Every structure is written in C-alpha cells, then in structure tokens.
Amino acid sequence: MAVLMAVVLAPQCVASEQLRERIEALQAGYAAAAGGEPLIATRALGDFYEARGYTRAWIRPELQDAWMNVLEGIASDGLAPRDYHAEALARLLEDDGASLAPESQADLDLLLSDSFLLLASHLLDGKVNPETADPEWKADRHERELYKMLAQALDSGNLVATVDALRPSQGGYLALRSAHSRLAAMANMAWPPIPDGPSLRVGDSDERLSAIRQRLRLLGDLDAPEAGEPVADNYDALLESAMKSFQRRHGLEDDGIIGPATLAMVNLTPAQRLEMVDLNMERWRWLPDTLGPRYILVNIAAFELEVVQDGQVVLEKPVIVGQPYRRTPVFSDQIRYLVFNPTWTVPAKLIVQDKLPQILQDPGYLERLGFQVYQGWGTDRRRVAPAGVDWTRVSARNLPYQLVQAPGPQNALGQVKFMFPNKYDVYLHDTPSRELFAKKARTFSSGCIRLKDPLELAELLLKGKAGWDDARIRSVLASRATTTVLLDHPMPIHLQYWTAWVDGSGTLQFRSDVYGRDPAVLAALHKARTPGTAAQ
C-alpha cells in the first residue's frame, strides 16, 4: 500500500515542484509562461501559490468544468474568452486532466488560476485603465485581494457565484448585458449599406424604403408584417411612426425625415452596435460599487441630466456640455453647496482665448455685460477701469488682470450654480443662453455643464432644509445678493459618457460619439494584455 501511495503521489509532488519553480521565477521578476501562453497576474499568482505551499489548486474536475462554463459565458460581458487562456485550457483539458504529465498539470493549474485572477480584475475594475487613454477620465478603483477570493471560491466550489458578485450589479450594466446577447445573435447578419440619395418623407416612393423597413423590423422599431402583407416601397404613416421612434433613440431630430444622419444610423451594423454596447459595459466597470440611493447622473454624450431616487428617475433635464476642444471630464463627486446670484471669475485661459478678442473688437463689451476688472490677486487686488487698460498688451504671458462678472441677467452662470469642488474646476450652472437647449447636439460650453430650468434642481436639493422654501429662494434671487447655501446632505453626482445604454422603459439607446472617446476604449478592449498589467 505504501508503494502504491508513493506512485500516486509522485506526479503531484513533481507538479508542485514545477509550480514552486515558476512562481519563484515570477517573484524574482522573470517572465513565465504556461501551456505556451504568458502568465499575466504575476503578483497575485505568487501570493496565491505561496499561501497554499505551492500545491495544485484545481485538482477537482468539477471545478475545471465549472470554470470553462464561466469562460463560455463572459462574451455577454463584452469580454473575449481568448483573453483568459480559454483555447490553451481547452487543449489541456481535451483528455482527462489527471492523466497529464506533471509539467502539463502545473501548466493547467497556473492557467486556470491566472484566468480567474485576470477575469476577476477585469469584471471588478475593467480591462482598460481609462486614465491612460483619456486624462479627462477619472475612474473609481475597487480594492480587493483577488488571490484570497480565488482561494475561497475553490474551497467552497462557488466559482460562478463569485464571478457574479464581481461584475457590476447595477441595473444599467445588467440591461446592457442582456442587449449584448440580443445583438450577438444578429452580429454575423448581412447588412450591406443602403446607398445615399435624396431625403425621404411621408408619401415618397423609393426602392431604398424596402431595405429601411426591413432594418427597422430587425432592430425592433417596426412590428413584423402581417401575413401576406407586401413589402412596400412607399413611405407610409406606419413607417414614419417607426422612424420617429428610431430617431429618438439615436438622439436625432424626430421629424421622420430620412436624411443623411438618419440613414447613417440605419446603416450602423449589428456588429458595430455590439461594439458600442461592449465598450459602454466597460465604462460601467469603472464606476463605484453603488451610485447611491439618491444621486445625479449626467450623460455627457446624451446631453441629459437625471436625478435618481431609489432606482426611479424623479427629475430629467437637458444640459449643455463642453465643446469638443474643451471637453467635459468624467468623474464622480458630491454637490456640497449652491450659490444663488453667483459672480463669475473668468479663468485666465478664457480671458485670453475668448474675452480678449471681443474686448479688442468692442471697447464697451465689459461694461455692457457687467464685468469688473481687477489688477492683482487676493487681498492686494485693486479694481481698475476697463478703459484704462491697454488690452493690446495683454496675452497669456502678460495677464495681470482678473475679470469678474457681477450677478445679473447676463451673468454667464445665470441665477444659480451647483458646486462639487474638483481639480477640473467644473460644475453645474444656469445660463442666460437658454435658446441653445433647443439644439439636439449641445456642445457649447467651456467644460462646465449648463442646466435648463436649474431652479427645479435647486428646490429639490433644498427640500426639507430649514428656512429654504420656494418663497425664500425667490426672495434671494430678487435681491441679486450672492448667497451660498450648504447642503445638509451632499448629493452624489456622476458625470458619465455613455454612447449606448438602456433607458427606464427598456429601450436600447445610442448616441453619437461627440468627443471621439469610443475608438480608444474599443482598441484597448481588443488589445491583448501583457504580464504584470492585471489588477493584483
């Protein structure tokens, strides 16, 4: 019996020795591979195997099978199984894993562990680090000791439950995950571009309308035809209604006219839509574990603000965001106070780039719009007359002045601003240029977010605060005195950039990538990881 046990245990001992040698090489800083593939989560692998005395972790076949099933399903998260050694693992598991040579057993164990640690890090924090691709994007990182989670999952056998707990649990993410599954079924469908031509209106006849009608049915905007109903080449009222719905969920003018912009969205293939869903799921993985029971969400790409309470949208407003060359950044913070009748101190960059050309062209510009000019800063600054400044000598290198706009109907910040102090100097505020809210694409600001009907948000935030009913707000506004009000309970605010999402009615929405942020994320999602880049 002793001889038999020695024969059985010998391969296990050899496999453990193989594990020890490779992990020690990793810890010494050398690259290591298993099954012909590089190991990625190098530090976490070292911690995991060192903690278990370099013994194999994946001996039980049911654990191996469970993990392969997990990898088969992760495409619904917009992630590729090949990034987690799925093909190499399948090759090693073609035969009974227990019959593998000791070196291959070590390969199998290392690849399974690396696969778990890598996928866990991607579900938890995203595959892409947004801050390396976009300096205007601040992500929330989640601190977890993933090697301990792996040990617990293997001990309990609950690999699937562990993975489910790692992916975002918010309804927005899960809805996109369902949308991925629906679009994936169409991804390989032939979708030849419908050619350009004259804009189409109700009553028109055009051979392209048959293809357009079919596309809207496939995308769910138009009901399937009744039995025996002919496919018409004329633009009827039923198609117009479906087209308006399609336009609304793509952020287009819902006039029913099929022009170039609408046709471009109709020509967006299921595979392209799938990529948009995938990269926006990735953006969800950059968010905090919870947005809060009550919060403000600004979708920059959709030019919309929502106030959400207990999962329900209680206020929805259009917003104006930064111009493409002054993009509104992405981050989460808290609104801590409001300022009624705010003054506006013009940032130095805007003085030179925006205001100086107007001052030189129109000497009365500053006085007419209520700007005061100060020389110097802080307590030493002194007010000077605009006419006494030689504006031709002012430049980015020679700017000893401040411009401060007094409260009033022409103040650039309007009647109220909502402050969440941040390094970008971005906040929400009113605007006197209210006509711009009628535009569909609203990229007009210098980075801050202008809000339509901001007093509704102010009233909502101050509801229940002693002494701040609607009458008090109106009285303060009428006084034109700058008044700061601290919130008793700061309101979480999340500035996000989603070009695909599922709204509260279950409709999959798409928007144009107005800042050109999508390609970098998509390229990074498709890029293979290199050793040491996984969350540890």
Contact (Cβ atoms closer than 8 angstroms) between residue 225 and residue 238: no
How many contiguous H segments (helices) and E segments (strands) does the chain have? Answer: 19, 17
Look up residue 50 and give its two tokens. Answer: 């060192």
Q: Where are the domains of the chain?
A: 2-167, 290-518
Check 122, 250, 429, 494 and give the catalytic one. 429
Among residues 425, 419, 406, the alpha carbon closest in space to that of 457 is found at 419
Give the pLDDT confidence score for residue 2 in this predicted structure. Answer: 43
- Give backbone dihedrals phi and psi of 477, rounded to 5 degrees, phi first: -65, -40
Residues in the chain: 536
pLDDT at 535: 45
| pLDDT one digit per residue (tens) for the chain, 536 residues | 444 344 444 556 766 787 888 888 777 777 788 888 899 988 899 999 999 999 999 999 999 999 999 999 999 999 999 999 999 999 999 866 567 788 888 899 999 999 999 999 999 999 998 877 777 787 777 777 899 999 999 999 999 999 999 999 999 999 999 999 999 999 999 999 999 999 999 999 999 999 999 999 999 999 887 655 556 789 999 999 999 999 999 999 999 999 999 999 999 999 999 999 999 999 999 998 889 899 999 999 999 999 999 989 999 999 999 999 999 999 999 999 999 999 999 999 899 999 999 999 998 999 999 999 999 888 889 999 998 899 999 998 999 999 999 998 899 999 999 999 999 999 999 999 999 999 999 999 999 999 999 999 999 999 999 999 999 999 999 999 999 999 999 999 999 999 999 998 999 999 999 999 999 999 999 887 666 554 44
Among the listed residues 85, 122, 448, 494, the single catalytic one is 448
**Lookup: tokens for 528:** 């293979």
Strands of the sheet containing 382-384, edge to edge, are 344-345, 401-405, 371-375, 382-384
For the question of whether the overall pTM of this predicted structure is more than 0.85, the answer is: yes
Instruction: Give pLDDT, residue 294.
Output: 95
201 phi-psi bin (left φ>0, alpha ψ -120 to 50, beta other): beta
The confidence score (pLDDT) of residue 7 equals 41
pLDDT of residue 8: 44
pLDDT at 226: 62
Q: Which CATH architecture has domain 290-518?
A: Beta Barrel (2.40)
- CA dist., res. 491 & res. 299, Å (int): 17
Q: Which two structure tokens, joined as six digits, stand for 202?
A: 């109700």
Q: Annotated catalytic, 448?
A: yes
pLDDT at 112: 97
Q: Closest Cα to residue 243, out of 273, 266, 225?
A: 266
Residue 351 DSSP code? I
CA-only gyration radius of the chain, Å: 29
pLDDT at 103: 84
**Is 214 in contact with 191 (CB distance < 8 Å)?**
no
218 CB neighbour count, 10 Å cutoff: 14
Q: Comparing C-alpha atoms, which of 67, 410, 122, 172 is closest to residue 282?
A: 122
Q: Among this protein's residues, is 13 annotated catalytic?
A: no
